[in-house]
Structure 1
Amino acid sequence: MDPEEIQASGDPVRVLREKGGDYTDNFPVVPNEITNWLDEQRAVTETCTLANLSHHMTSLRVTGPDAEELLRDLSVNSFESYEIGRAKQLVMCNPNGHIIGDGPMLRLGDEEFYSGGMLSANWVRYNLETGDYDATVETEPRTSAHEGDPENFIFQVQGPNARAVLEQVTDADLDSIPFYRFETIDLAGVETIALGHGMSTEFGFEFIGPFEQAEQVREAIVEAGDEHGLEQLGSKSYHTLSVKLGWVPPGVPPIYDVEAMSDYREWLGPDSREATYSIDGSFVSDEISEYYMDPIELGYEKLISFDHDFVGREALEAKVESPDRTLVSLAWDENDVVDVYASLFGDGETYKFMDLPRIAWGRANYDEVTKDGDLVGLSHSRSYEYDAGTIISLCSIDVDHAEPGTEVTITWGEEDSPNPKVERHAQTEIRATVGEVPYSPDRRKGE
C-alpha cells in the first residue's frame, strides 16, 4: 500500500497500527548477533567495537552548481561555515515544521555532498525533480532493496580502546580530526574517509571507503582489536546505541492529512520508507498529526537557524518561541520491568511481552507517559542497557516536567491492538525517572 492509498483509507492511524509486517532486529546482511548481544553491548563502554553500517541505510549524493541551494532550501541548519571537510546533521521538515528525516551530510567539494545514511533522501529527490535546480541527486537504497553490493563500506569503530586499535591500522593522527570533521586517510592500505562521528557516546570514528576493499579493512581492524577486547556488533546490539546517545528516528512521516504534502504522497511508492512504517505502543489517537514530531522535541533546537529560508521555517519560528516539549531520557523502574516478565509465569493475565534488547527495527514506538494521571509525553525507542541495569527510553515530554529526577508513569501495553504481531495482553504501569540526554556522558568530542 502506497502513502496515497493510506491517506485514501480515511484512517491513516488504523492502517499504520494494524500493519503486521515481518519485523526482526536484523539489518540487511548483518546478523542479529556476531557473538551475543550482551557481550557486544558491554564492549561499547568497556573495550572496543566494530559496527558494519554498509547495508541498512539509504545513501545520498547531491552534486552540481545548485547542490548547496537545494539542501539549504530543505534544511533547518545554517550553511555558514559549511566548508569542505565538514559534516552536518541535516534536519528537514514539512511546511508545518514536522520532521521528515535527518542524517549526517559530508561536504566533499564545492558542488558535492554525500551522506551514507539520509532518512529524508526521498524528500530531496522529490524536490529536485519538482523544483528548478541545476543539480543531480543519486540515491542508493539499503542492500535488501537492490541487487549487488553497495558502493561504499561504512564502519564505525568506538570504545575506550578505539585509539589503541586504530593506531595499528593507520598512521593518521585521528586526534587532529575534530568531531563532525573528516579527512581522507590510509586505513589498512585503503584510501578511506575518516569522520569524527559515531552512534555510541564513546570516542570513535566512522570510516567510508570502496566496498570492494571492505573485507581487507574489516579483517585488519578485527586483527588489531584482538588484544584490546574488540567485539563486532550484530544488529541487536548496534540498534541499542542510539538510545543512550539520544537519537530518535523521526517516526511517522508527516505526510498524511497535510494538503501541502499531497503531491509528495502521490510521488512516493509502496516500498518507500514513508510507506512501510508501523505504529506501536500504548498511545492511541484518531488524529495522525498527534504522531508527528518536530526538531525541538527531538533535541535538535540548537541546529535550527533562521539565517535562511527553508521549508517549515515559519512554523518552526513559532515553535522555538514557545516550545511545548523537549527531549529527555527515561530510566524504567527495574522492579516494574521484572513484573512484566513475571506475569508470564503465574496465573491470570500476562503483560505485553518486552523484547530484548529493544523494540524491533521498523516500528515507530509511542508509549503514553503520564504525571498524576495527565498525559505529559510520549516514550520512544526503549532499550535495555546493561550499565544502567534496566530499560532506558527517550521521551518527548512537556517542558514543565523535563527536570531530571521527575517521576513519571509509562503505560505499557496496548488496550486493543489491531496488529496481528501483538499478542493478547493486559496493560500495566511502569514507573520511570526523567534523566538527561545523552543518558551517558558524551565522550565523542574528546571532552
Structure 2
Amino acid sequence: MPFMDFVNEHKSTDGPLVLRPGDPGYEDELAGFQTGFAPRPDAVFAASSAADVVAAVRYAARRGLPVRVQATGHGLPGPSEGGVLVTTRRMDGVSVDPVARTARLGAGVRWGQVVTAAAPHGLAPVNGSAPSVGAVGYVLGGGLGILAREFGYAADHVRSLDVVTADGRLRHVTPESEPDLYWALLGGGGGLGVVTGLETGLVPVASLYGGSVSFDGRRVGAAAVLRAWEEWTRTVPEGLTSSFAAVPYPDLPALPEALRGRYVVSVRVAHTGADGDRVAAPLRRIGPALADSLRRMPYTESHTVHSDPDVPHAYYGEGAVLRELDLAGAGELLARTGPDAGGAMCVVQVNHLGGALAASGAPNSVPHRDGRFLVRLLAVGDRAAARERLDAAFAPLGPVTIGRALNFAFGAGDRTDGLWDAETRKRLALIRSRYDPASLFDGN
C-alpha cells in the first residue's frame, strides 16, 4: 500500500493518527521533556491503543523501516533521522487492584499518576524521583527509585508486560509464558519491541521520612560534605536510601535570589522507618545549613525529596556504577564540574546503592548489582561540548567503575559499551536475534 493511502486510511477514529514532516501537529507530536535534540522520523504513529502499535510495527516491518518509541521524551538516547516513531503518551490508563497490591499501567503513564492512584489504598509504586517521567521506559531500564535500597529496582516488581514484537504480534509476557523475553525486556532497555502496558506490584507505604539538607558548597566544601555523607552511609539502616548532589547555579534573574550564583550541595534522604530524625542527626552536624526539609511526609509528597525540575530543557547525561566510592577521584570530579571549572553547567548526583538493589534473585537483566554507588552527571549547553565535559569529569573514577547506567545515558547516541556485563550482553544479543532478526528496534 502506498504510504499516503495508508495515512489516509488510518486518519479515521479506528486507527492511529499518522503524521509526516510538514503535517500540522508533526512538530508538537515530537515535543518532549528533552529539548536539546529530537527524532525526525518519516512517519509518526500517534498510538492510542495496542492495536495502533500493531499497525505501526507491521507497516514498518513490511518496508524494513526502523521503529523507535517515545512516551514523555525524558530519556532519549540521541537525535535520529527517518523511520517510524511510535508515540505512546495517549496510552495513559492506570488501574489499581488494592487486594492484589498491583497496578496496570499504560505505555504513556507518568509516575505521578500512579502515585496518586495508589495512595488512597495505602500503597505506592517503586517509582523514581520525578513524577513527570514515563513509568514504562523507566522500568525497562531497571528503575532506580526513591526507596531503592528498601525495595530494589522497579523491574524487580513487574508481574507481566504486553509487548508488540517485530513480527507484529501482541504478546502477554510473564516469567512463565516467555521467560527469555521477560528477562530481556526488564533491564535490556527498549530493543525488543514496543511495550504497550505492564502490571507491577505495589508496596505498602503511605508515608516516609525524607527531604534534604543543603549547604553552601564554597563555605562548607563540596568534597567535605561528600566525605561526611559517605561515612554516614556506612552506619545507616539497610533500607535507607540517600544521595548526594552538587549544583553550581548560574547567576541568572530567572532563578530565585537565594540560588543565584550559589554552589548548593545537598544530601537527600528517604526512609520508611520511625527513627528518621535520629538517623539523620549526623547530617545536620556537617555544617551550617542553607535549608533543611527533612520531615515525615505522605508518600504523595515524595517527589519533594529531590525536587527535580519539571520544565522541559536541553540536557546530556551519563551514569557510572562504582564498586566503591573513591573519595580522591570523586573530589577531582567535583573540581572539574564545580563553579570554578568553567564550561557548561554540570549537576552531580551520587546515589548510595546496595541493600535490596544487590539482590540477584529477580528474573531480569538489570546489570551491575554489585555496585555500591552510582555517580550521575547532567550537563547543559552544546551537545558536543557537554559530552566532552562529561567524559573528562568521569575519568578520575575509571579505576573503580564497573559499568554505565542505562537509564541515565541521555544523549549518548549509539554508544552501548559498559551498559551490561559481557554475559548479560551476550544473552541479550541472542534473544534479540530471535525476536527481532531484522533489527527493527535497534535504535532503541
Answer whether TM exceeds 0.5 for this pair. Answer: no
Structure with the bigger RCO (C-alpha within 8 Å, sep 6+) is 1
Please give the TM-score of this superposition, normalised by the length of structure 2.
Answer: 0.29
Higher helix share: 2
